[in-house]
Amino acid sequence: MPKHLIVVVGPTAVGKTALCVQLARHYHTEIISADSRQFYREMLIGTAKPTPEEQQGIRHHFVDSHSIAQEYSAGMYEQDVLALLQQLFTRHDVVILTGGSGLYVQAVLEGMDDMPDAAPEVRQKLTALLAEQGLAPLLAQLQERDPAYFAQVDQANPQRVMRALEVCLSSGQPYSSFRKKEKQARPFQTIKIGLTRDRAELYQRIDQRMDQMLAQGLLEEAKNLYPSRRHNALQTVGYKELFDFLEGAYGWEEAVRLLKRNSRRYAKRQLTWFNKDAGYTWFHPGQWEEIIQFIKAER
Protein backbone atom coordinates (compact mmCIF):
# COMPACT_ATOMS: atom_id res chain seq x y z
CA MET A 1 0.00 0.00 0.00
CA PRO A 2 1.34 3.47 -0.83
CA LYS A 3 1.86 5.91 2.02
CA HIS A 4 -0.45 8.91 2.10
CA LEU A 5 0.03 12.41 3.49
CA ILE A 6 -3.33 14.01 4.21
CA VAL A 7 -2.86 17.76 3.86
CA VAL A 8 -5.45 19.94 5.60
CA VAL A 9 -5.17 23.68 4.99
CA GLY A 10 -7.32 26.74 5.48
CA PRO A 11 -7.40 30.20 7.01
CA THR A 12 -6.79 31.05 10.62
CA ALA A 13 -9.66 30.16 13.00
CA VAL A 14 -11.47 28.00 10.43
CA GLY A 15 -11.27 24.88 12.62
CA LYS A 16 -8.25 22.91 11.36
CA THR A 17 -7.07 21.69 14.77
CA ALA A 18 -10.34 20.04 15.85
CA LEU A 19 -10.82 18.28 12.51
CA CYS A 20 -7.22 17.07 12.31
CA VAL A 21 -7.29 15.65 15.82
CA GLN A 22 -10.47 13.80 14.86
CA LEU A 23 -8.76 12.52 11.69
CA ALA A 24 -5.64 11.48 13.62
CA ARG A 25 -7.75 9.50 16.08
CA HIS A 26 -9.66 7.88 13.21
CA TYR A 27 -6.47 6.81 11.40
CA HIS A 28 -4.38 6.20 14.57
CA THR A 29 -1.68 8.55 13.36
CA GLU A 30 0.23 11.76 14.14
CA ILE A 31 0.01 15.40 13.10
CA ILE A 32 2.70 17.66 11.63
CA SER A 33 2.06 21.38 12.02
CA ALA A 34 2.67 23.61 9.00
CA ASP A 35 1.95 26.81 10.91
CA SER A 36 5.17 28.80 10.81
CA ARG A 37 4.23 30.76 13.95
CA GLN A 38 3.48 27.72 16.11
CA PHE A 39 7.09 26.55 15.81
CA TYR A 40 8.23 29.10 18.37
CA ARG A 41 8.13 28.29 22.07
CA GLU A 42 8.03 31.92 23.23
CA MET A 43 4.94 32.74 21.14
CA LEU A 44 2.24 30.96 23.09
CA ILE A 45 -1.01 32.95 23.17
CA GLY A 46 -0.78 34.89 19.91
CA THR A 47 -0.29 31.80 17.74
CA ALA A 48 -3.39 29.88 18.90
CA LYS A 49 -1.38 26.71 19.51
CA PRO A 50 -3.49 23.65 20.27
CA THR A 51 -3.68 23.18 24.03
CA PRO A 52 -2.96 19.77 25.59
CA GLU A 53 -6.73 19.37 25.97
CA GLU A 54 -7.28 20.16 22.28
CA GLN A 55 -4.50 17.77 21.24
CA GLN A 56 -6.31 14.91 23.02
CA GLY A 57 -3.12 12.91 23.39
CA ILE A 58 -2.33 13.06 19.65
CA ARG A 59 1.34 13.71 18.91
CA HIS A 60 1.82 17.13 17.28
CA HIS A 61 5.18 17.72 15.61
CA PHE A 62 6.66 21.20 15.00
CA VAL A 63 4.72 22.87 17.80
CA ASP A 64 7.10 24.58 20.28
CA SER A 65 10.00 23.08 18.34
CA HIS A 66 12.15 26.21 17.98
CA SER A 67 13.13 29.47 19.66
CA ILE A 68 12.49 32.88 18.13
CA ALA A 69 16.26 33.43 18.34
CA GLN A 70 16.77 30.66 15.74
CA GLU A 71 16.63 31.41 12.03
CA TYR A 72 14.26 28.86 10.52
CA SER A 73 13.22 28.92 6.89
CA ALA A 74 10.77 27.05 4.69
CA GLY A 75 13.72 25.26 3.10
CA MET A 76 14.95 24.03 6.49
CA TYR A 77 11.41 22.98 7.38
CA GLU A 78 11.15 21.01 4.12
CA GLN A 79 14.23 18.96 4.94
CA ASP A 80 13.19 18.39 8.56
CA VAL A 81 9.67 17.30 7.66
CA LEU A 82 10.83 14.93 4.91
CA ALA A 83 13.21 13.28 7.39
CA LEU A 84 10.41 13.02 9.96
CA LEU A 85 7.99 11.56 7.41
CA GLN A 86 10.52 8.88 6.55
CA GLN A 87 10.34 7.79 10.19
CA LEU A 88 6.58 8.18 10.61
CA PHE A 89 5.74 6.20 7.51
CA THR A 90 7.56 3.17 8.97
CA ARG A 91 4.73 2.85 11.51
CA HIS A 92 1.80 4.69 9.86
CA ASP A 93 0.20 4.35 6.44
CA VAL A 94 -1.31 7.84 6.83
CA VAL A 95 0.18 11.03 8.33
CA ILE A 96 -1.54 14.42 8.61
CA LEU A 97 0.08 17.74 7.67
CA THR A 98 -1.93 20.81 8.61
CA GLY A 99 -1.54 24.57 8.81
CA GLY A 100 -2.15 27.90 7.21
CA SER A 101 1.41 28.76 6.12
CA GLY A 102 1.16 28.14 2.39
CA LEU A 103 4.85 28.42 1.62
CA TYR A 104 5.73 25.79 4.21
CA VAL A 105 3.06 23.40 2.93
CA GLN A 106 4.32 23.94 -0.60
CA ALA A 107 7.90 23.28 0.51
CA VAL A 108 6.94 19.82 1.80
CA LEU A 109 4.79 18.89 -1.19
CA GLU A 110 6.83 20.35 -4.05
CA GLY A 111 10.25 21.39 -2.75
CA MET A 112 11.97 24.74 -2.50
CA ASP A 113 14.27 26.43 -4.98
CA ASP A 114 17.92 26.46 -3.94
CA MET A 115 18.43 30.03 -2.75
CA PRO A 116 21.78 31.60 -1.79
CA ASP A 117 22.36 32.25 1.90
CA ALA A 118 21.76 35.77 3.14
CA ALA A 119 24.68 37.68 4.59
CA PRO A 120 24.07 38.12 8.36
CA GLU A 121 24.81 41.86 8.20
CA VAL A 122 22.23 42.29 5.42
CA ARG A 123 19.57 40.52 7.49
CA GLN A 124 20.38 42.60 10.56
CA LYS A 125 20.18 45.85 8.58
CA LEU A 126 16.83 44.95 6.99
CA THR A 127 15.37 43.77 10.30
CA ALA A 128 16.35 47.05 11.95
CA LEU A 129 14.90 49.05 9.05
CA LEU A 130 11.63 47.13 9.26
CA ALA A 131 11.37 47.72 13.01
CA GLU A 132 12.15 51.42 12.74
CA GLN A 133 10.36 52.49 9.54
CA GLY A 134 7.95 49.69 8.69
CA LEU A 135 7.51 47.81 5.44
CA ALA A 136 7.37 50.74 3.00
CA PRO A 137 11.15 51.29 2.51
CA LEU A 138 11.69 47.54 2.05
CA LEU A 139 8.97 47.41 -0.60
CA ALA A 140 10.56 50.37 -2.39
CA GLN A 141 13.92 48.59 -2.46
CA LEU A 142 12.38 45.36 -3.70
CA GLN A 143 10.49 47.17 -6.46
CA GLU A 144 13.76 48.73 -7.61
CA ARG A 145 15.88 45.57 -7.45
CA ASP A 146 13.36 42.94 -8.57
CA PRO A 147 10.21 44.41 -10.18
CA ALA A 148 9.16 40.98 -11.44
CA TYR A 149 8.94 39.47 -7.95
CA PHE A 150 7.60 42.73 -6.50
CA ALA A 151 4.56 42.33 -8.77
CA GLN A 152 3.92 38.80 -7.43
CA VAL A 153 4.79 38.96 -3.74
CA ASP A 154 2.24 39.39 -0.96
CA GLN A 155 3.18 43.00 -0.21
CA ALA A 156 1.64 42.81 3.26
CA ASN A 157 3.93 39.94 4.29
CA PRO A 158 7.16 41.33 5.78
CA GLN A 159 8.87 37.93 5.94
CA ARG A 160 8.47 37.29 2.21
CA VAL A 161 9.53 40.82 1.29
CA MET A 162 12.55 40.69 3.58
CA ARG A 163 13.63 37.24 2.37
CA ALA A 164 13.55 38.39 -1.26
CA LEU A 165 15.53 41.51 -0.43
CA GLU A 166 18.09 39.49 1.52
CA VAL A 167 18.77 37.40 -1.58
CA CYS A 168 18.88 40.46 -3.86
CA LEU A 169 21.31 42.34 -1.66
CA SER A 170 23.49 39.34 -0.72
CA SER A 171 23.81 37.88 -4.22
CA GLY A 172 23.53 40.96 -6.40
CA GLN A 173 20.93 39.07 -8.46
CA PRO A 174 17.13 39.43 -8.54
CA TYR A 175 15.34 37.02 -6.23
CA SER A 176 13.12 35.96 -9.15
CA SER A 177 16.15 34.69 -11.06
CA PHE A 178 16.55 31.85 -8.52
CA ARG A 179 12.88 30.77 -8.65
CA LYS A 180 12.78 27.82 -11.04
CA LYS A 181 9.55 26.31 -9.63
CA GLU A 182 10.59 22.76 -10.45
CA LYS A 183 8.39 20.35 -8.49
CA GLN A 184 10.30 17.65 -6.63
CA ALA A 185 9.15 14.02 -6.64
CA ARG A 186 8.02 12.68 -3.26
CA PRO A 187 7.96 9.04 -2.05
CA PHE A 188 4.35 9.37 -0.84
CA GLN A 189 0.97 10.34 -2.25
CA THR A 190 -0.96 13.39 -1.08
CA ILE A 191 -4.63 13.96 -0.40
CA LYS A 192 -5.31 17.69 -0.31
CA ILE A 193 -8.22 19.09 1.71
CA GLY A 194 -9.12 22.74 2.15
CA LEU A 195 -11.36 23.95 4.97
CA THR A 196 -13.52 27.02 4.60
CA ARG A 197 -16.58 28.70 6.08
CA ASP A 198 -18.99 31.42 5.08
CA ARG A 199 -17.00 34.67 5.14
CA ALA A 200 -19.17 36.31 7.83
CA GLU A 201 -18.93 33.19 10.02
CA LEU A 202 -15.16 33.01 9.59
CA TYR A 203 -14.64 36.67 10.42
CA GLN A 204 -16.82 36.33 13.52
CA ARG A 205 -14.67 33.40 14.66
CA ILE A 206 -11.50 35.44 14.06
CA ASP A 207 -12.84 38.34 16.14
CA GLN A 208 -13.88 35.97 18.92
CA ARG A 209 -10.48 34.29 18.90
CA MET A 210 -8.74 37.66 19.21
CA ASP A 211 -10.98 38.61 22.15
CA GLN A 212 -10.08 35.28 23.75
CA MET A 213 -6.35 35.83 23.20
CA LEU A 214 -6.53 39.26 24.78
CA ALA A 215 -8.42 37.84 27.74
CA GLN A 216 -5.74 35.15 28.11
CA GLY A 217 -2.99 37.78 28.36
CA LEU A 218 -1.76 38.50 24.84
CA LEU A 219 -0.73 42.04 25.80
CA GLU A 220 1.40 40.74 28.66
CA GLU A 221 2.99 38.22 26.30
CA ALA A 222 3.76 41.04 23.84
CA LYS A 223 5.35 43.08 26.66
CA ASN A 224 7.60 40.14 27.51
CA LEU A 225 8.57 39.68 23.86
CA TYR A 226 9.03 43.39 23.15
CA PRO A 227 12.84 43.36 23.70
CA SER A 228 13.03 40.63 21.02
CA ARG A 229 10.67 42.38 18.59
CA ARG A 230 13.25 42.58 15.80
CA HIS A 231 13.43 38.82 15.41
CA ASN A 232 11.95 37.66 12.12
CA ALA A 233 9.52 35.33 13.90
CA LEU A 234 7.79 38.30 15.55
CA GLN A 235 7.15 40.23 12.32
CA THR A 236 3.63 38.87 12.27
CA VAL A 237 -0.01 39.76 12.84
CA GLY A 238 -0.96 39.71 16.51
CA TYR A 239 2.37 41.00 17.78
CA LYS A 240 3.31 43.91 15.51
CA GLU A 241 0.10 45.76 16.40
CA LEU A 242 0.77 45.43 20.12
CA PHE A 243 4.42 46.45 19.76
CA ASP A 244 3.22 49.63 18.04
CA PHE A 245 0.71 50.19 20.84
CA LEU A 246 3.45 49.77 23.44
CA GLU A 247 5.48 52.39 21.57
CA GLY A 248 2.55 54.83 21.72
CA ALA A 249 1.63 54.74 18.03
CA TYR A 250 -2.08 54.53 18.89
CA GLY A 251 -4.48 53.85 21.75
CA TRP A 252 -5.89 50.58 23.03
CA GLU A 253 -9.17 50.64 21.11
CA GLU A 254 -7.30 51.22 17.86
CA ALA A 255 -4.88 48.40 18.72
CA VAL A 256 -7.76 45.97 19.18
CA ARG A 257 -9.39 47.15 15.95
CA LEU A 258 -6.15 46.63 14.02
CA LEU A 259 -5.57 43.21 15.57
CA LYS A 260 -8.95 42.02 14.34
CA ARG A 261 -8.79 43.76 10.96
CA ASN A 262 -5.29 42.50 10.18
CA SER A 263 -6.19 38.97 11.27
CA ARG A 264 -9.15 39.01 8.89
CA ARG A 265 -6.90 40.30 6.10
CA TYR A 266 -4.39 37.56 6.86
CA ALA A 267 -7.16 34.95 6.54
CA LYS A 268 -8.14 36.41 3.18
CA ARG A 269 -4.54 36.17 1.94
CA GLN A 270 -4.35 32.55 3.12
CA LEU A 271 -7.49 31.69 1.14
CA THR A 272 -6.12 33.45 -1.93
CA TRP A 273 -2.88 31.43 -1.71
CA PHE A 274 -4.58 28.04 -1.36
CA ASN A 275 -7.26 28.77 -3.95
CA LYS A 276 -4.51 29.12 -6.55
CA ASP A 277 -3.91 25.37 -6.22
CA ALA A 278 -6.67 23.46 -8.02
CA GLY A 279 -5.55 20.27 -6.28
CA TYR A 280 -7.47 21.09 -3.10
CA THR A 281 -11.02 19.84 -2.51
CA TRP A 282 -12.89 22.16 -0.18
CA PHE A 283 -15.16 21.29 2.75
CA HIS A 284 -16.80 22.94 5.74
CA PRO A 285 -15.06 21.60 8.90
CA GLY A 286 -18.38 20.08 9.98
CA GLN A 287 -18.61 17.79 6.92
CA TRP A 288 -16.97 14.84 8.67
CA GLU A 289 -18.66 12.04 6.73
CA GLU A 290 -18.02 13.74 3.39
CA ILE A 291 -14.35 14.24 4.26
CA ILE A 292 -13.90 10.61 5.32
CA GLN A 293 -15.59 9.38 2.13
CA PHE A 294 -13.37 11.68 0.05
CA ILE A 295 -10.21 10.35 1.70
CA LYS A 296 -11.40 6.77 1.23
CA ALA A 297 -12.00 7.39 -2.48
CA GLU A 298 -8.60 9.05 -2.92
CA ARG A 299 -6.74 6.18 -1.25
CA angle 114, 117, 120 (to 5 degrees): 165
Per residue in 140-181, pLDDT (tens digit) is 999 999 999 999 888 888 888 988 999 999 889 999 888 877
Clarify whether residues 287 and 216 are in a common domain: yes
Evaluate whether 73 touches 98 at the Cβ level (below 8 Å): no
Helix (H) or strand (E) holding 191: strand 189-195
Looking at residue 8, what is its pLDDT? 98
Evaluate whether 39 touches 101 at the Cβ level (below 8 Å): no
Domain range spanning residue 167?
120-178
Domain end among 130, 156, 178:
178
Looking at residue 123, what is its pLDDT? 84
Clarify whether residues 226 and 258 are in a common domain: yes
Per residue in 214-234, pLDDT (tens digit) is 999 999 999 999 999 988 889
Tell me the mean pLDDT in the region 170-198: 90
Please list the alpha-helical segments (H only) found in 189-282. 199-216, 218-225, 240-246, 252-275
Strand stretches in 81-162, DSSP E? 94-99
How many folded domains does the chain comprise?
2
Clarify whether residues 195 and 210 are in a common domain: yes
Per residue in 35-93, pLDDT (tens digit) is 999 999 999 999 999 999 999 999 999 999 999 998 888 889 999 999 999 999 999 99
